[in-house]
Amino acid sequence: MIRVMIVDDQGMVREGFSVLLGAMPDIEVVGEAANGLEAVAKAAELRPDVVLMDIRMPEMNGLEATREIIAADTGTKVLVLTTFDLDEYVYQALRAGASGFVLKDASAGQLAEGVRVVAAGEALLAPTITKRLLSEFSRLNVSVPPVRERVGELTDRETEVLVLVAQGLSNAEIAAHLFVAESTVKTHVGRLLVKLGLRDRTQAAVFAYEARLVTPGMGRV
């Protein structure tokens, strides 16, 4: 069972998602929270596999709550809830450690699949979100610590896989593009994460943007 906690300041939203996810045979809703402070405390107590996290909340917003939950290093993943796929906080939330985004008006099937993807350690980066991430990074011209030299730790193939991950491709899509087995792609992804000291595919995508391996204007292959 995938243990899920729902965080939103609107009771009707929490109740609706709880009903939708609770109907899934492989998902259990173990808790709810109405703000970021409550979310951090309950996440530490309940240790859910996935937290569905709203961004705009009183007391503590979803960005700060995400940072604290991820910093606790309990293995909990955060899936951000957003009203629009072009939410202004996309970039900040991914940098805070979120594993992906799901729209609040998503169907029950889409919501459940998002939870499953994130629980499995994958990144939920839809093409629209990836485009937004690139656009926001370019607009903000974010000043980040130098990371380019760390790319030299990777093989050419690992660098190629990193770029494709950052463009939002799944392992299956990368395998088809490179004409290799999906298991080979998984091995490359695992190795590049270890070499770069990254937690997951989402961190890998952010790293690729910050290292300028992916730039605005680069679409999916």
Domain ranges of the chain: 2-124, 144-210
What's residue 87's pLDDT? 54
Q: pTM score > 0.75 for this model?
A: no
For the segment 148-178, what is each residue's pLDDT rounded down to a tens digit? 667 878 999 999 999 998 887 888 899 999 9
Contact 34, 57 (CB under 8 A): yes
Secondary structure of the chain as H, E, C letters: CEEEEEECCCHHHHHHHHHHHHCCCCEEEEEEECCHHHHHHHHHHHCCCEEEEECCCCCCCHHHHHHHHHHCCCCCEEEEEECCCCCCCHHHHHHHCCCEEEECCCCHHHHHHHHHHHHCCCCECCHHHHHHHHHHHHHHCCCCCCCHHHHHHCCHHHHHHHHHHHCCCCHHHHHHHHCCCHHHHHHHHHHHHHHHCCCCHHHHHHHHHHCCCCCCCCCCC
CA nearest to 65, candidates 96, 36, 90, 94: 36
Which amino acid is residue 30, in one-letter code? V
Q: Does domain 2-124 have CATH number 3.40.50.2300?
A: yes
Confidence band of 207 (pLDDT split at 50, 70, 90): confident
Average pLDDT over residues 26-53: 95
pLDDT over threshold 60, residue 138 = no
The residues, any chain, with a CB within 8 Å of residue 124's CB and separated by 6 or more, are 79, 99, 100, 101, 102, 114, 117, 118
Mean of all residue pLDDT scores within the chain: 83
Distance of alpha carbon 191 from its chain centroid, rounded?
19
Mean pLDDT of 184-213: 86
Give the pLDDT band of residue 49 (cuts 50, 70, 90): very high
Query: At residue 144, does pLDDT exceed 70?
Result: no
Residues β-bridged to residue 52: 6, 79
Q: Which residues contact 211 (CB under 8 A, 6 or more apart)?
A: 147, 148, 150, 151
Q: Please check whether the two domains, 2-124 and 144-210, share a CATH topology.
A: no
- What pLDDT shows up at residue 156? 92
The whole-number pLDDT of residue 191 equals: 93
What digits encode the pLDDT tens for the residues 70-122? 999 888 999 988 776 555 677 778 778 888 888 788 888 888 988 998 888 77
Residue 88 confidence (pLDDT): 64
Judge whether residue 143 has pLDDT over 60.
no
What is the dotted CATH code of the domain comprising 144-210? 1.10.10.10
